A = this chain, B = another copy of it.
Amino acid sequence: MAVYTHLSAETLSDLISKYDVGTLISAKGIAEGISNSNWLIETTQGRFILTMYERRIDISELPYFLNLLDHLAERDCPVPATIHDRNGAAYSQIDGKAVALIEFLPGVSIDTPNTAQAYAVGEALAAIHIASEDYPARRKNDLRPKDWQGLFDQCGSDRIAMIDPHLAEIVAEHLPSLLAEWPDDLPVATIHADLFPDNVLMLNDRVSGLIDFYFACTDFAAYDLAVTHAAWCFTGDGRVFNPSLSKALIAGYQSRRILNDAERDALPMLGKGAAMRFVATRTFDWIDTPDDALVTRKDPMDFARRLQFYAESGADAFSL
């Protein structure tokens, strides 16, 4: 959550001059993004977000992400369109790092959503699944069950146990069945795969922006709903499931796209998997991040508790 690179006003002005967006009035580095630096840019013609891709993202994948934004924005999804420069390019490079200019969208990220907001998020999620049906590009999800296994293996059970003695147990209890029984025949979509509240901008109860599509990939639509469910329907560090938010989220989703029987049946497994995905990456990041690093570490136990909840409650977690 920082700006990793200093861009001078002169560099920013030069960059902005390549676009048909007016001249630079203001540029503020904003504290968003873990692997990007971002600036809120104001020009004589409007406001924009400038993103510099610092790490994690392979530049060869940028067209997938940026074209997806354009594809969804053209279909009236509330996502920021990419601004193309006068040569039509969606991104350029500064000092060897890729930068892209995208629309600024209004709205604020909600910490404690109400049911109307959860419903709206479900609707918006279904809308991107539908609108991306004719998005021609494909991208493999590189965070599927065997990838979670790989992350845990890199950590080692001793170091995992040092985070929390229950963590290794919970992983050992649930990972084998997820690996063995993960579905392979559910309807596929272009999914966001990380639709946490901080990636959703809202104006009152309306979704004004879905942002940060840098985990987007081709995978089960219902898995995206399960990820969103795990991200939105718990309070108190994952300790308290909120059935009203859950019902609202799923109802909102189904107002646009009805889940088929196989998807509905798979939701308990997908919920466990969604929780395990964040247990895996947070465990890895916890061990990979020094105690006093720039980035705030997220406790993997928050999602280990959700994983246990999904395991215990089965289909009840997704009841309507």
Which residues on A are within 8 Å of B, measured CB to CB?
1-3, 8-10, 12-13, 24-32, 40, 42, 104, 106-112, 201-203, 290, 292-294
B2–A31 touching, CB < 8 Å: yes
Checking B27, B31, B202 against A108 with a beta-carbon cut-off of 8 angstroms, the contacting residue is B27
B40–A30 touching, CB < 8 Å: yes
Checking B12, B13, B27, B294 against A294 with a beta-carbon cut-off of 8 angstroms, the contacting residue is B294
Contact flag A29-B30 (CB < 8 Å), given A8-B111, A9-B111: yes
Contact flag A29-B32 (CB < 8 Å), given A108-B9, A111-B9, A294-B294: yes
Query: Which B residues lie within 8 Å of A110 (CB)?
Result: 8-10
Query: Which B residues lie within 8 Å of A42 (CB)?
Result: 106
In whole Å, how far is A310's beta carbon from the nearest beta carbon of chain B? 26
Question: A26-B104, A26-B106 are known contacts; what are 18 more A-B pairs with Cβ within 8 Å?
Answer: A1-B3, A2-B31, A9-B108, A9-B202, A10-B110, A10-B112, A25-B106, A25-B107, A26-B107, A26-B201, A28-B28, A29-B30, A29-B31, A30-B31, A40-B40, A290-B292, A292-B292, A292-B293
Query: Which B residues lie within 8 Å of A294 (CB)?
Result: 2, 294
Closest 8 A/B residue pairs (Cβ): A29-B31, A9-B108, A8-B111, A3-B31, A28-B30, A25-B106, A26-B106, A9-B110
A2 to B10, CA, bound (A): 23
A40 to B10, CA, bound (A): 22
In whole Å, how far is A242's beta carbon from the nearest beta carbon of chain B? 16
Copies of this chain present in the complex amount to 2
Contact flag A10-B111 (CB < 8 Å), given A3-B1, A30-B29, A106-B26: yes
In whole Å, how far is A43's beta carbon from the nearest beta carbon of chain B? 10
B28–A112 touching, CB < 8 Å: no
| Chain B residue with the shortest CB-CB distance to A29 | B31
Identify 16 residue pairs between A and B in the complex whose beta-carbon atoms are under 8 Å apart, listed by A's number.
A2-B2, A2-B31, A2-B294, A8-B110, A9-B111, A9-B202, A10-B110, A10-B112, A25-B106, A25-B107, A25-B108, A25-B203, A26-B107, A26-B108, A27-B108, A28-B30
Query: Which B residues lie within 8 Å of A111 (CB)?
Result: 8-10
Query: Which B residues lie within 8 Å of A27 (CB)?
Result: 108
| Chain B residue with the shortest CB-CB distance to A49 | B28
B32–A28 touching, CB < 8 Å: yes
Query: Which B residues lie within 8 Å of A10 (CB)?
Result: 110-112
B112–A8 touching, CB < 8 Å: yes
